Structure 1
């Protein structure tokens, strides 16, 4: 039954790719816009204010502004130690519901946000540079000393620190994060079967939009410039982001330690791992 459920998705993605490929010859601008749109538009992760998860109801909620965008934030108040949580793709702040109680045992203030086009934040597009601006808005307001990111949220944390070089950050935890943006693009290309012309248009659009080429957008490259302490954890059974991606980041980050897990998959939810994170943040 699972196989038959995948057939409509397969047909849809391949049909989108065929259309974009055809457009690349007759209307390159429209082709690049569509290829970019389908790459950056989340299909899941939205929340309704009428039915937000319990863990988020327990927080103080505040909306920050980033230009025309609303950034939904959640604060569990504690002492002057502050931790910022940055979720990943097609997710929202509730993904931290198992970790938040563990972190609050330290007495710290815990802060989380919904990323662009996720949770209760506004927008239709999710990309790392914009997400990093959201993170910067929260850091300027709350001034956390610690930051934890999962998956694309982890990649955002790496890019944020590379771009903004925040001296107030003392420690960063990265969970199941990709390193090389080109790998993400190539996976997308395979999924919808983009031809060479359409793929080049997509890469050109990214370069022009963010003033950095996909080949330079590298967590390994970003982390090699860091002085703050880091903890990187990645699961060998992660079927979303390759285990080798986590190793690349760890090998480049001189002041970071690497934890190899098994059986957690991409979610990285685990009591034992939470204890190691707690020890890294508060007891080292």
Structure 2
């Protein structure tokens, strides 16, 4: 395991060195490569022929947003609709351990495949695009509850910030990052990219999305959220630091932080699910 981790780190540093050298002579090519590595998932794709068991014989629907298309899966129940939003390099099947608890409520559950994940189209993932997918489902299916994991949780927060007046009444965010700058800093550090590449990356985000790294923050977005919510984060999470969850909770007026220990980034736990169920369905 340590050997594999060491090899991955060596490969990352080698790629980073190549990008740094490339930035001197071909900055546009260096930026294209750096941005692609940051925004294009390597895992999470599925097809109709290799569907995980969780998604077998589940009714699907394909939505269209401009040139993009994305897939949803529905477990039909009553008129209370729950929307599930997965994270990076995953797909709708990541909810297989969560579904049994939610299905006890009798609710209709809809799980979405993110951009460039699952059976959705594209090669690039970004939160603004994911948010348009989420909003398409929210407008049509009118969910009362939205649950997001990891970057999917951050997308839920951003969606509620952009569209506060929707059908959504409660939100649960699991292991979500707060600050885009933290994600970029970690990426820059992993590849040991130089200061020039950081500036080029931020310029790319500013031009493409019209925001700086510092401005895109779930902590900032949460200040505008009025619905009640849970922010659950594990102190041993090695993918998204516990402090990120604290940031979101600190500015969410009606948000409650649940601190777990030993669950890592996956956040699968019976006690946690029971507490979430109580928050969602018990008066």
Using the size of structure 2 for normalisation, the TM-score is 0.97
Q: CA deviation at 1:92?
A: 0.5
How many residues get paired? 283
2:153 aligns with 154
Q: Within 2, Cα distance between the matches of 1:276 and 1:42?
A: 32
Q: Which stretch shifts more, 29-38 or 77-86?
A: 29-38
Residue matched to 1:144? 143
In structure 2, what is the equivalent of residue 214 of structure 1? Answer: 213
User: 1:154 offset after TM fit, Å?
Assistant: 0.4
Q: Which residue matches 1:189?
A: 188
Cα shift at 1:208: 1.1
Matches within 5 A, 1:52-201: 52-201=51-200
Question: Are 2:5 and 1:6 equivalent residues in the alignment?
Answer: yes
Cα distance between partner residues in 1 of 2:94 and 2:54: 10
Partner Cα separation in structure 1 for residue 281 and residue 255 of structure 2: 16
2:241 — aligned with what?
242
Offset at residue 277 of structure 1 (A): 0.9
SS in 1 for 2:83: strand
Q: CA deviation at 1:12?
A: 2.3
Q: What is the DSSP-based 3-state SS (H/G/I as helix, E as strand, rest coil) of the residue aligned with 1:204?
A: helix
Distance in 2 separating the partners of 1:6 and 1:234: 24
- Whether contact under 8 Å (1:81, 1:108) holds in the other structure is yes
**Contact 1:206-1:212 within 8 A present in 2 as well:** yes
Give the Cα separation in 2 of the matches to 1:212 and 1:8.
Answer: 35
Matches within 5 A, 1:252-271: 252-271=251-270
| Counterparts of 1:247 and 1:202, CA distance in 2 | 27
Q: Which runs of 4+ in 1 moved over 6 A?
A: none
**Secondary structure of the structure 1 residue equivalent to 2:230:** strand
Q: Deviations over 1:230-268 (max 9, x none)?
A: 111111111111111111111100111111111111100
Contact 1:58 1:76 in 2 (8 A): no
Tell me which residue corresponds to 1:25: 24
Task: Find the counterpart in structure 2 of residue 272 from structure 1.
Answer: 271
Is the Cα–Cα contact under 8 Å of residues 138 and 167 in structure 2 kept in the other structure? Answer: no
Unmatched runs of 5 consecutive residues or more in structure 2: none
User: Counterpart of 2:257 in 1: which secondary structure?
Assistant: strand
Q: 2:73·2:111 contact (CA, 8 Å) conserved in 1?
A: yes
Shift of 1:27: 2.1
Give the TM-score, by structure 1 length. Answer: 0.97
The separation in 2 between residues aligned to 1:59 and 1:85, in whole angstroms, is 15
Match of 2:223 in 1: 224
Distance in 2 separating the partners of 1:58 and 1:231: 31
Q: Contact 1:65–1:71 at 8 Å: present in 2 too? A: yes
CA distance in 1, matches of 2:140, 2:61: 11
Q: How much is the aligned-residue C-alpha RMSD, in angstroms?
A: 1.2
Post-superposition offset of 1:58: 4.1
